[in-house]
Amino acid sequence: MKIAVVGCGAVGSYYGASLCQAGQEVHFLLRSDYDVVRQKGVTVHSVRGDFHVQPRCARAPEEIGVSDTVLIALKTTANDQFPKLLPTLVGRHTAVVTLQNGLGNTEQLARLFPPDQILGGLCFVCLNRVEPGVIHHMDYGLIVLGEFRRPAGPRTRALAELLQAAGVSCKTTDNLAQAQWEKLVWNIPFNGLGVAGTAGYEIFETQNPKLKIENRVGSCLPTDKLLADPRWEKLVRELMLEVIRIARALGHKIPDSVADDRIARTRTMGAYKASTLLDFERHQPLELESMFLEPLRQAQSARVLVPRLARLCKVLKQLDALR
């Protein structure tokens, strides 16, 4: 299978390298890392065993051409580049798979390509890109794969089998929208509070509606610190339950017990910095729209009260502006 990887950070590089190691024809579309990856390849330091691969490298999509599968692992802040990067890669039978965080990504792709070609993959994995072409994989790796507004079909199941053969745990879902909300149960609190922690816990207790943040007084909070402090852990749980309430209002049957499960799993991760924390520390734009603001809009449309999420969005918007 000819596979194009668009967005070769931690997620794209890890899954693309896994498929390359399994013998697939994998093309990385690269920008700043092009020279390093072309010369040295991709090295993955993994809890499941280190490996090194030499994927095919391209600077422009025209160098790759039409592919069987396109894996999109761009930050959602770069989704405005879809019309420039993707059409050359997509033919009549190409599976267009977004591995991105949050909501709205499949809808953006469906405005460019036939909806029956659009898939989404939810990645439950702990990893970081530590330098160009070098990925540190700490834990997990599951992909939950589904189709845009359709049950999983033969193509989706075949792609899941391909990923399984490459050593990537993968299962399919007939309800991609629900799976997206299930992932947000983790993403919103741990990505959001990890960054909001720079403003201090008190910002969530103040009654000041203007919420002016003059200075960042602390550092980002990785998962272990959020769960070690009872105040932050309480906020984590409250946010999780708000996300679950939104999902239920939209017709997705997610039980409250999912919050306990996510917290228990997170305790095994150690001092893990979620992607939004790394973006903030690197002074890069935060994925506010897809991961926080769109869920808040859907809560408001469904008339679900989510005071913690609303406050978190205000904090993150102001911190992003300071960046």
CATH of the domain at 193: 1.10.1040.10
In 3D space, the residue among 106, 124, 117 whose CA is nearest the CA of residue 168 turns out to be 124
Let me know whether 161 and 188 are in one domain: no
Let me know whether 56 and 136 are in one domain: yes
Let me know whether 194 and 216 are in one domain: yes
CB-based contacts of 64, cutoff 8 Å, min separation 6: 4, 27, 29, 56, 58, 88, 89
Whole-angstrom distance, CA of residue 248 vs CA of residue 304: 10
Pairing mode, strands 42-46 and 51-53 = antiparallel
Let me know whether 126 and 189 are in one domain: no
Local confidence band at 39 (pLDDT 50, 70, 90 cut-offs): very high
Let me know whether 95 and 214 are in one domain: no
Whole-angstrom distance, CA of residue 248 vs CA of residue 246: 5
pLDDT reported for residue 217: 62
Let me know whether 163 and 137 are in one domain: yes
Number of domains, the chain:
2
Task: Classify burial at 301, counting beta carbons within 10 Å of its beta carbon; exposed 0-12, middle 13-18, buried 19 or more.
Answer: exposed
Q: Which of 148, 174, 200 is the last residue of a domain?
A: 174
Whole-angstrom distance, CA of residue 16 vs CA of residue 169: 14
Local confidence band at 215 (pLDDT 50, 70, 90 cut-offs): low
What's the DSSP call for residue 280? H
In 3D space, the residue among 59, 13, 312 whose CA is nearest the CA of residue 184 turns out to be 312
Here the tokens at position 168 are 């990537």
Local confidence band at 203 (pLDDT 50, 70, 90 cut-offs): confident
Let me know whether 6 and 131 are in one domain: yes
pLDDT reported for residue 214: 63
pLDDT in tens, 41-98: 999 999 999 999 999 999 999 999 999 999 999 999 999 999 999 999 999 999 999 9
Let me know whether 218 and 71 are in one domain: no
In 3D space, the residue among 217, 235, 213, 215 whose CA is nearest the CA of residue 225 turns out to be 235
Pairing mode, strands 90-98 and 118-131 = parallel
Q: Which of 126, 158, 174 is the last residue of a domain?
A: 174
pLDDT in tens, 144-188: 999 999 999 999 999 999 999 999 999 999 999 999 999 999 999
Let me know whether 157 and 227 are in one domain: no
How far from 243 is each of 178, 190, 301, CA to CA, in Å?
12, 13, 14
pLDDT in tens, 9-37: 999 999 999 999 999 999 999 999 999 99
Let me know whether 214 and 150 are in one domain: no
Let me know whether 165 and 232 are in one domain: no
Q: Which residues are catalytic?
A: 183
The whole domain housing 81 covers 2-174
Whole-angstrom distance, CA of residue 61 vs CA of residue 89: 6
pLDDT above 70: residue 235: yes
pLDDT in tens, 255-305: 999 999 999 999 999 899 999 999 999 999 999 999 999 999 999 999 999
- What is the average pLDDT value for the chain, to the nearest integer? 95
The owner of tokens 């798979």 is 97
How far from 182 is each of 99, 117, 151, 173, 186, CA to CA, in Å?
15, 23, 17, 12, 8
Whole-angstrom distance, CA of residue 81 vs CA of residue 74: 9
Whole-angstrom distance, CA of residue 307 vs CA of residue 274: 23
Q: Which of 132, 158, 174 is the last residue of a domain?
A: 174
pLDDT above 60: residue 209: no
Let me know whether 246 and 303 are in one domain: yes
Mean pLDDT of 106-111: 98
